[in-house]
């Protein structure tokens, strides 16, 4: 592993403006065809990663609230929620201005253990003072196609100052937090599934998810890539193989949904810990023109 990885539990000093304030060690990653780049930030452990993630969320929230009076945060499901717990009790965060959406959701009741809303509520949303009407949950009890249309309707009805549109008419969300599955899926966009190619809808229905439950809704790739900022969050040994496949094994570029996350105008960051980055050869990125440098 590269020398830049800090020992477990330690937060590395930041030596450039990149990643400043987050802790962790920032590296610049350029995709091989050089059409975009990402900042990859390595943390010593999942705990310091969670602290860094929450510091970043709070920083972007503050910036958005100063600029437009509100902050739109978009959540994934699964293991991400645990990493958001440091936000609970965080001082100096104006949660009253936050609007929280879900990049994907399972078509199940809110009380179901499979519900991303429930996972987020139990770990974080229910413990911070975000007004209930500013949490945009999936409607319960609808056929999945109708649930997707209804969710797009919720987004369309949002105040355009809170959720502005870009020149293509797409919503510009302030920050999307994406988890990744072991197959490289993000949101509920799965490898080789037709939803990956959809360009004309904001929210799609999925009725054959390879990961249960089968019925889901998901934001489309164009909506994801229109965001101002995207943090891909992958902590733990279980993510090491897929992280390496996405960032370094480029034999089939674009084959994995996570490789198609390339914000048009926004900033892309990968937040990794010692375990999830353990298969990366980051030192080689510094030596290679394709992978320009780290700080
Ligand atoms: O099904 C889903 O899986 C991914 C990854 O979840 P994880 O528990 O392996 O971290 C998640 O990002 C997505 O939102 C979710 O619905």
pLDDT, tens digit, for every residue of 253-284? 557 999 999 999 999 999 999 999 999 887 55
Beta bridge partners of 28: 39
Lowest-pLDDT choice from 20-29, 85-94, 145-154, 211-220: 20-29
> How far does the centroid of ligand 1 lie from the alpha carbon of residue 67, in Å?
31
In a domain, 122, yes or no: no
Beta bridge partners of 233: 271
| 134 Cβ closer than 6 Å to some ligand 1 atom | no
Tell the residue nearest (CA) to atom 5 of ligand 1: 181
Pairing relationship of beta strands 203-206 and 216-219 according to DSSP bridges: antiparallel
In a domain, 78, yes or no: yes
| 76 Cβ closer than 6 Å to some ligand 1 atom | yes
Res 106: pLDDT: 98
In a domain, 19, yes or no: no
> How far does the centroid of ligand 1 lie from the alpha carbon of residue 116, in Å?
9
Model ipTM over 0.90: yes
Q: What is the mean pLDDT of residues 156-174?
A: 98
Question: What is the four-CA torsion angle of 104, 179, 262, 149, rounded to 10 degrees?
Answer: 0
- 201-240 burial, b if ≥16 CB within 10 A, otherwise e? ebbbbbeebeeeeebbbbbbbbbbbbbbbbbbbbbbeebb
Cα–Cα dist 251/218, whole Å: 27
In a domain, 93, yes or no: no
Domain assignment of residue 172, given as a range: 59-87+135-273
Res 7: pLDDT: 31
Nearest atom, ligand 1, residue 103 CA: 14
Q: What is the pLDDT of residues 44-97, one digit of tens each?
A: 999 999 999 999 999 999 999 999 999 999 999 999 999 999 999 888 999 999
Average pLDDT, the chain: 87
Q: What is the mean pLDDT of residues 152-169?
A: 98
In a domain, 98, yes or no: no
Residue 73: how many other CB atoms lie within 10 Å = 20
| 236 Cβ closer than 6 Å to some ligand 1 atom | no
Cα–Cα dist 125/149, whole Å: 24
Cα–Cα nearest to 244, from 277, 292, 290: 277
**Residue 30 near residue 291 (C-beta atoms within 8 A):** yes
In a domain, 40, yes or no: no
Nearest atom, ligand 1, residue 211 CA: 1
CATH of the domain at 204: 3.40.50.1360
Residue 21: how many other CB atoms lie within 10 Å = 11
Residue 122: how many other CB atoms lie within 10 Å = 13
In a domain, 250, yes or no: yes
3-state secondary structure the chain: CCCCCCCCCCCCCCCCCCCCCCCCEEEEEECCCCCCEEEEEEECCHHHHHHHHHHHHHHHHHHHHHHHCCEEEEECCCCHHHHCHHHCCCCCCCHHHEEEEECEEECCCCCCCCCHHHHHHHHCHHHCCCCHHHECCCCCCCCHHHHHHHHHHHHHCCCCCCCCECCCCCECCCEEEECCCCCCCECCECCCCHHHHCCCCCEEEECCCCCCCCCEEEECHHHHHCCCEEEEEECCHHHHHHHHHHHCCCCCCCCCHHHHCCCCCCEEEEEEECCCCCCCCHHHHHHCCCCCCEC
Considering its fold, how many domains does the chain have in total? 1
| 188 Cβ closer than 6 Å to some ligand 1 atom | yes
> How far does the centroid of ligand 1 lie from the alpha carbon of residue 102, in Å?
12
**Better-scored residue on pLDDT, 251 or 244:** 244
Res 261: pLDDT: 94
Beta bridge partners of 14: none
Nearest atom, ligand 1, residue 102 CA: 14
pLDDT of 250 over the 90 cut: no
Res 141: pLDDT: 98
Q: pTM of this prediction?
A: 0.89
In a domain, 74, yes or no: yes
pLDDT of 287 over the 70 cut: no
Nearest atom, ligand 1, residue 78 CA: 8
Nearest atom, ligand 1, residue 178 CA: 12
> How far does the centroid of ligand 1 lie from the alpha carbon of residue 135, in Å?
19
pLDDT of 293 over the 80 cut: no
Cα–Cα nearest to 220, from 289, 168, 281: 168
């Amino acid at each position: 592993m590269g020398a830049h990885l800090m020992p477990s539990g330690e937060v590395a000093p930041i030596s450039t403006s990149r990643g400043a304030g987050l802790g962790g060690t920032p590296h610049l990653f350029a995709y091989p065809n050089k059409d975009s780049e990402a900042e990859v930030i390595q943390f010593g452990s999942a705990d310091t990663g969670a602290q860094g993630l929450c510091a970043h969320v709070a920083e972007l929230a503050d910036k958005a609230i100063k600029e437009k009076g509100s902050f739109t945060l978009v959540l994934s499901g699964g293991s991400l929620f645990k990493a958001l717990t440091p936000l609970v009790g965080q001082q100096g965060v104006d949660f009253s201005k936050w609007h929280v959406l879900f990049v994907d959701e399972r078509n199940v009741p809110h009380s179901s253990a499979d519900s991303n809303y429930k996972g987020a509520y139990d770990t974080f949303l229910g413990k911070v003072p975000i007004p209930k009407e500013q949490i945009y949950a999936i409607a319960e009890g609808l056929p999945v196609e109708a649930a997707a249309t209804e969710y797009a309707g919720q987004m369309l009805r949002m105040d355009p100052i809170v959720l502005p549109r870009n020149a293509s008419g797409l919503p510009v969300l302030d920050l999307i937090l994406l988890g990744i599955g072991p197959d490289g899926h993000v949101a509920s966009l799965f490898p080789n599934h037709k939803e990956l190619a959809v360009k004309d809808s904001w929210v799609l229905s999925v009725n054959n998810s390879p990961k249960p439950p089968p019925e889901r809704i998901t934001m489309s790739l164009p909506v994801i890539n229109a965001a101002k900022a995207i943090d891909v969050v992958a902590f733990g040994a279980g993510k090491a193989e897929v992280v390496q496949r996405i960032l370094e094994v480029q034999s089939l570029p674009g084959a994995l949904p996570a490789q198609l996350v390339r914000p048009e105008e926004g900033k892309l960051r990968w937040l990794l810990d010692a375990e999830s980055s353990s298969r990366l050869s980051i030192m080689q990125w510094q030596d290679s023109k394709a992978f320009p440098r780290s700080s």
